[in-house]
């Protein structure tokens, strides 16, 4: 069954009129016509170029929540009350879409409010992500990002800031980004002795799954495990995370054990991969 999800921005218009900023329908992402309002303050500039920039910031936030970026946009529509206002916006639009080259339409029409000088609507389609940036966790900001992903994926084992700092001193922690958008994180626990097992755990935020990001994270982690001399690699997945279990099986991991920790209810699954087989 195709999964449909609505994304809300907090705009009062969405509540009053009854629509969503964007709708995710499987791999298809439909972003509503978006104007230059700053939704945090519900204010709008008088300048059309500044409105265009704010339109794109609003759209970018919706795309990120949908698990994609401007690189996934395949169709864009520009709606303006005044034809002469379009050309001054071209440099702003080209910065976002110049390399993407989506299909585009510009229409001259009235908008809902006289203060609105441009409205932009986009349609995106999520596919494999080619440019995933993986960076070792350094500094408090990256530690907070790593903790955010970890706690979203495994809420029964949510970590405090101090616990994350302690892990950073013993393990290799990395974050994954698409552009500047945080999409996942990983942990590599080194072997306790030469030739023993290392642990590699990759986590991808739900909206970014099935786009090749997990494969990239795991590949990077496995490379580090080999460098550390590990013969086998272990991973651990919350049993309720069916996506994670399917992904681990597809990489060649086999189930070793299922268990529930004392005093807890959540079931965990340990899996193992022989490094020399890959």
User: What's the confidence (pLDDT) of residue 277?
Assistant: 47
pLDDT value of position 195: 59
Q: What is the pLDDT of residue 179?
A: 86
Residues β-bridged to residue 257: 270
5-125: what fold? Answer: 60s Ribosomal Protein L30; Chain: A; (3.30.1330)
Report pLDDT for 131.
86
Question: Which residue stretches of the chain have pLDDT < 50?
Answer: 1, 277-278
* Residue-level pLDDT at 226: 87
Instruction: Delimit the domains of the chain by residue range.
Output: 5-125, 132-274
Distance set, CA 211 to CA 53, 121, 131, 183 (Å): 28, 24, 11, 11
Interval 99-123: pLDDT, tens: 999 999 999 999 999 999 999 999 9
* Predicted pLDDT of residue 1: 46
Q: What is the DSSP string of the chain?
A: ---EEEE----HHIIIII--SEEEETTEEEEEEE-SEETTTTEE-S-HHHHHHHHHHHHHHHHHHHT--GGGEEEEEEEES-GGGHHHHHHHHHHHHTTT--EEEEEE---SSTT---EEEEEEE----S-EEEEE--HHHHHHHHHHHHHHH-GGG---HHHHHHHHHHSEEEEEEETTEEEEEEEEEPPSSTTS-EEEEEEE-GGG-SSSHHHHHHHHHHHHHHHTT-SEEEEEEETT-HHHHHHHHHTT-EEEEEEE-TT---EEEEEEEEGGG-
Name the CATH architecture for the domain at 132-274.
Answer: 3-Layer(aba) Sandwich (3.40)
Identical fold, 5-125 and 132-274:
no
């Amino acid at each position: 069954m195709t999964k449909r999800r609505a994304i809300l921005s907090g705009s009062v218009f969405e509540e009053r009129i009854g629509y969503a900023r964007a709708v995710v329908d499987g791999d298809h992402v439909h972003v509503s016509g978006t104007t230059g309002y700053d939704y945090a303050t519900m204010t709008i500039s008088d300048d059309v170029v500044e409105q265009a920039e704010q339109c794109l910031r609003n759209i970018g936030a919706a795309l990120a929540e949908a698990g994609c970026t401007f690189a996934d946009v395949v169709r864009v529509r520009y709606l303006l009350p005044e034809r002469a206002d379009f050309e001054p916006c071209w440099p702003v639009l080209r910065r976002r879409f110049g390399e993407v080259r989506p299909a585009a339409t510009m229409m001259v029409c009235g908008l809902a409010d006289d203060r609105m000088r441009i409205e932009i609507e986009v349609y995106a389609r999520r596919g494999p992500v080619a440019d995933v940036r993986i960076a070792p966790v350094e500094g408090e900001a990256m530690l907070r990002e790593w903790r955010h992903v970890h706690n979203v994926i495994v809420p029964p084992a949510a970590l405090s800031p101090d616990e994350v700092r302690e892990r950073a001193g013993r393990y290799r922690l990395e974050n994954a980004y698409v552009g500047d958008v945080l999409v996942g994180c990983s942990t590599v626990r080194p072997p306790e002795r030469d030739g023993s097992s290392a642990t590699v755990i990759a986590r991808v935020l739900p909206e970014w799954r099935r786009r090749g990001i997990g494969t990239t994270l795991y590949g990077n982690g496995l490379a580090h495990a080999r460098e550390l001399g590990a013969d086998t690699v272990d991973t651990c997945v919350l049993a309720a995370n069916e996506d994670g279990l399917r992904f681990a099986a597809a990489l060649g991991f086999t189930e070793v054990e299922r268990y529930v920790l004392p005093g807890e209810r959540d079931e965990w699954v340990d899996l193992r991969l022989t490094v020399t087989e890959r």
